[in-house]
């Protein structure tokens, strides 16, 4: 036989097990309401702290290009191509490759890099530049020849990445105009 129990202030009555279930549900509901309040407080605090800091985040996330241009101090000149970058064809790219002293930088998306690339090249995609650069910057020497390429002669990614690298202090940066398409068409060595 179950014992009847009523909490003080409660209008519910019934078996203890059922009342306890309601009690737990009401406590959880109250906690959830309080947690919602904490969420709102956290959002307001977070926004307030963000507004006070010099490196504040924008309300809406900017494109990688814009954030990158701001972080290297290049501004719009990086997009307009006002900074001239030396452009080379397949022959010069091949000479640089065979010399073994140049570093080839692939400016395409990482997915394309994984599918196929010029041997010993490193991935520095335009759309994830800062993150990729933080991982491979120790492989790049500011005095070495850096050859940047993207998918083909019409793509702009290699130009953009090359200009950013120049802004970062790399002194000998060149763009391999024909890119991956020309390299493949010439039947040259590939990775993987």
Partner 1 sequence: MSWFGVVARVILAAVFLWAGISKLVAPEAFADGVADFQVFPTFMVNLVAMTVPTLEILAAGLLLVGPWKKVGALVALCLAVGFTVLFAWVVLQGRDVQCGCFGGGGEALPAPLGFLRAAVLLVLGGAVYLNELRRVTNCAMPAGTRLK
Q: How far apart are CA 187 and CA 132, in angstroms?
A: 28
Query: Which strand ranges, in their side-by-side order, compose the sheet holding 122-123?
Result: 86-88, 172-176, 145-149, 102-106, 122-123
**Site for partner 1 contains 56 (CB under 8 A):** yes
CA separation, residue 45 to residues 52, 56, 58, 166, 188 (Å): 11, 14, 16, 39, 57
Which of residues 12, 29, 41, 141 is near partner 1 by CB under 8 A? 41
Q: What is the DSSP letter of 169?
A: T
Q: Footprint of partner 1 on residues 81-110 (CB under 8 A)?
A: none
Which of residues 29, 43, 95, 136 is near partner 1 by CB under 8 A? 43
Residue with tokens 């394309």: 112
**Site for partner 1 contains 52 (CB under 8 A):** no
Q: Footprint of partner 1 on residues 115-144 (CB under 8 A)?
A: 130-131, 134-135
Q: Which residue ranges make up the site for partner 1 (CB under 8 A)?
A: 2-3, 5, 7, 15-17, 20, 23-24, 27-28, 31-32, 34-35, 38-39, 41-43, 45-47, 49-50, 53, 55-61, 67, 130-131, 134-135
């Amino acid at each position: 036989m179950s014992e009847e129990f009523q909490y003080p202030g409660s209008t519910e009555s019934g078996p203890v097990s059922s009342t306890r279930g309601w009690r737990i549900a009401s406590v959880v509901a109250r906690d959830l309401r309080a947690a919602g309040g904490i969420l709102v407080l956290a959002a307001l605090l977070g926004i307030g702290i963000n507004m006070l800091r010099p490196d504040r985040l924008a309300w809406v996330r900017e494109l990688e290009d814009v954030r990158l241009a701001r972080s290297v101090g290049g501004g719009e000149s990086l997009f307009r191509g006002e900074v001239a970058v030396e452009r080379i064809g397949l022959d010069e790219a091949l000479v640089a490759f065979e010399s073994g002293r140049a570093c080839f930088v692939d400016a395409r998306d990482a997915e394309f890099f994984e599918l196929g690339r010029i041997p010993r090249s490193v991935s520095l995609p335009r759309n994830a530049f800062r993150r990729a650069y933080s991982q491979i910057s120790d492989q790049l020497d500011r005095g070495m020849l850096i050859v940047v390429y993207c998918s083909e002669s019409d793509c702009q990614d290699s130009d953009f990445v090359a200009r950013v690298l120049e802004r970062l202090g790399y002194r000998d940066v060149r763009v391999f105009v024909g890119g991956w398409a020309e390299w493949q068409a010439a039947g040259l060595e590939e990775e993987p």
